[in-house]
């Protein structure tokens, strides 16, 4: 039993055993020793009692947002009107050009095609080849869920998994978009917490932001701004630019629904404006591999913190402190370092902007 976490039932298997032995002796039994048949029987009973305690404790913990996992977390989210973002497969359109064969043929729904031999895309509906030369644009869906299916770009040439003499060429007409992984427990838990205890009806900024984030796990951050009376501007940070236009439209549709937004609100959705920075960092340390790894990790953590929140002020002091704490003995902003072409110093940014930059590390002698 992990005593570092909150438990509804506390139990000590050895304390349970000692009490069982006391009760057994008081009831007229003899003192038992390891290997005795009665001792082994009572040990089995002790294990059952411990499992009951553990099961009840776990069942109670699964009813809390802090400790629930898997399906139990889904139930908590559903009770609050906040559903887990499910995994989805990427979709695209392809243009299939057929030869004049003089014979009718049908490419059935599920017919597979690929550009690289690894990821396959399937026809969503039957396609009839008339026997004449023709070009038809049809929908396809990746054979697996996840963002891996989003890599198919317009103009890519594909081939059928099983060749068909009637098909001359297959060219991607629109990029594959919409593929994403299922939301993990920790991300979902935090979104439930932000979503609030009641079903979302937007109006307050945080409600708009929570509803926007619920559209896709690709959205790293959302910020709602009162652009003017009755006009709400939503700014987003996306983890990938693949399918960005379609995702912005999906967010707009979700936030414009009549059962979501107040009737007086007019919603617009944009990507946050990037404010660039470049940090060329020279540092001195003991040059050990452990210190170098700690400094690289500190830089990665800082960049995720700095770049993935809309409206967060540029704070290079935080990075310098993190590098020192990781083991550096000296830190210098080298030539070429700048924030938005200006000096490297703490700088506030606008509510619709996000810092987005590059950091280069160079080790120097002490």
**Whole-angstrom distance, CA of residue 239 vs CA of residue 179:** 13
Helical H segments across 28-83, by residue range: 37-61, 70-79
Average pLDDT on 284-294 reads: 92
Supply 254's token pair.
């979700």
- Determine contact, residues 134/98, Cβ cutoff 8 Å: yes
Q: What is the pLDDT of residue 251?
A: 92
pLDDT tens per residue, range 150-181: 989 999 999 999 989 889 999 999 999 889 88
**Whole-angstrom distance, CA of residue 80 vs CA of residue 214:** 13
pLDDT, averaged across the chain: 89
Q: What is the pLDDT of residue 197?
A: 44
Q: What is the pLDDT of residue 252?
A: 92
Which residue in 232, 295, 224 sits closest to 268, CA to CA?
232
Q: What is the pLDDT of residue 198?
A: 43
Which residue in 286, 292, 298, 271 sits closest to 365, CA to CA?
286
pLDDT tens per residue, range 34-67: 778 888 888 888 898 988 988 888 888 898 888 9
Residues sharing a CB contact under 8 Å with residue 160, sequence separation 6 or more, in sequence order: 111, 112, 113, 167, 170
In the predicted structure, residue 17 carries a pLDDT above the cut 90: no
> Mean pLDDT: which of 13-27, 43-57, 303-317 is highest?
303-317
- Determine contact, residues 124/109, Cβ cutoff 8 Å: yes
How far apart are the two ends of the chain, measured CA to CA in Å?
A: 48
What Cα–Cα distance (Å) separates residue 226 from each residue in 112, 235, 248, 268, 352? Answer: 47, 11, 18, 11, 11
Domains 89-177 and 200-271 share a fold: no
Window from 199-213, 231-245, 303-317 with minimum mean pLDDT: 199-213
Strand partners, 88: 180
Average pLDDT on 338-352 reads: 95
Which residue in 312, 326, 294 sits closest to 356, CA to CA?
312
Q: What is the pLDDT of residue 12?
A: 85
- Determine contact, residues 283/295, Cβ cutoff 8 Å: yes
Where do the domains of the chain lie?
13-61, 89-177, 200-271, 274-364
Task: Determine whether 46 is exposed, middle or buried from the number of CB atoms within 10 Å of its CB (0-12, 13-18, 19+).
Answer: middle
Average pLDDT on 222-238 reads: 91
Average pLDDT on 202-210 reads: 82
Q: What is the pLDDT of residue 202?
A: 63
Beta strands 219-228; 231-238: pairing state: antiparallel
Indicate the pTM of the whole model.
0.57
Residues sharing a CB contact under 8 Å with residue 12, sequence separation 6 or more, in sequence order: 1
Q: What is the pLDDT of residue 83?
A: 87
Beta-carbon count within 10 A of 123 CB: 20
Which is higher by pLDDT, 280 or 198?
Answer: 280
Q: In degrees, to the nearest 5, what angle opens at C-alpha 237 toward C-alphas 236 and 238?
A: 110
Average pLDDT on 183-204 reads: 75
Q: In degrees, to the nearest 5, what angle opens at C-alpha 301 toward C-alphas 296 and 302?
A: 95
Q: What is the pLDDT of residue 2?
A: 59
Supply 146's token pair.
């996840």
Q: What is the pLDDT of residue 28?
A: 80
Residue 85: pLDDT band with limits 50, 70, 90:
confident
In the predicted structure, residue 32 carries a pLDDT above the cut 80: no
**Whole-angstrom distance, CA of residue 86 vs CA of residue 237:** 20
Helical H segments across the chain, by residue range: 13-26, 37-61, 70-79, 185-195, 205-213, 244-256, 289-307, 316-325
Residue 89: pLDDT band with limits 50, 70, 90:
very high
- The architecture of the domain spanning 200-271 is 2-Layer Sandwich (3.30)
Q: What is the pLDDT of residue 196?
A: 63
Fold (CATH) for 89-177 = Elongation Factor Tu (Ef-tu); domain 3 (2.40.30)
């Amino acid at each position: 039993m992990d005593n570092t976490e909150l438990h509804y039932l506390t139990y000590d298997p050895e304390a349970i055993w000692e009490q069982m032995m006391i009760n057994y002796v008081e009831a007229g039994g003899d003192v038992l020793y390891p290997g005795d048949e009665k001792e082994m029987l009572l040990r089995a009973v002790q294990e059952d009692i411990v499992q009951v305690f553990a099961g009840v404790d776990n069942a109670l913990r699964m009813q809390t947002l802090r400790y629930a996992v898997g399906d139990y977390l889904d139930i908590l989210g559903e009770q609050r009107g906040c559903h887990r973002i499910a995994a989805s497969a990427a979709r695209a359109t392809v243009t299939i050009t057929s030869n004049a064969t003089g014979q009718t043929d049908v490419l059935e729904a599920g017919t597979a095609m690929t550009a690289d031999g690894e990821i396959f895309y399937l026809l969503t509906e039957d396609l009839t080849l008339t026997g004449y030369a023709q070009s038809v644009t049809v929908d396809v869906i990746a054979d697996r869920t996840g963002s891996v299916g989003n890599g198919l770009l317009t103009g890519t040439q594909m081939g059928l998994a099983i060749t068909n003499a009637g098909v001359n060429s297959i060219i991607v007409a629109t990029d594959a978009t919409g593929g994403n992984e299922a939301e993990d427990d920790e991300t979902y838990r935090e979104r439930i917490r932000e979503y609030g205890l009641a079903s979302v009806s937007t109006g307050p900024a945080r409600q708009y932001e929570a509803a926007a984030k619920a559209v896709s796990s690709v959205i790293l951050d959302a910020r709602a701004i009162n652009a003017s009376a009755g006009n709400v501007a939503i700014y987003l940070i996306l983890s990938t630019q693949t399918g960005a236009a379609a995702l912005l439209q999906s967010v707009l549709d979700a936030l414009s629904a009549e059962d979501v937004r107040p009737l007086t609100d007019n919603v617009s959705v944009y990507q946050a404006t990037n404010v660039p920075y470049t940090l060329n960092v020279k540092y001195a340390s003991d040059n050990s591999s452990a210190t170098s790894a700690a400094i690289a990790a500190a830089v990665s953590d800082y960049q995720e913190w700095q770049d993935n929140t809309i409206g967060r002020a540029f704070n290079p002091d935080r990075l310098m402190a993190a590098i020192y704490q990781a083991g550096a003995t000296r830190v210098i902003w080298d030539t070429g370092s700048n924030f938005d072409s200006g000096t490297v110093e703490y700088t506030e940014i606008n509510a619709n902007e996000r810092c987005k930059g590059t950091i280069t590390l160079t080790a120097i002698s002490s």
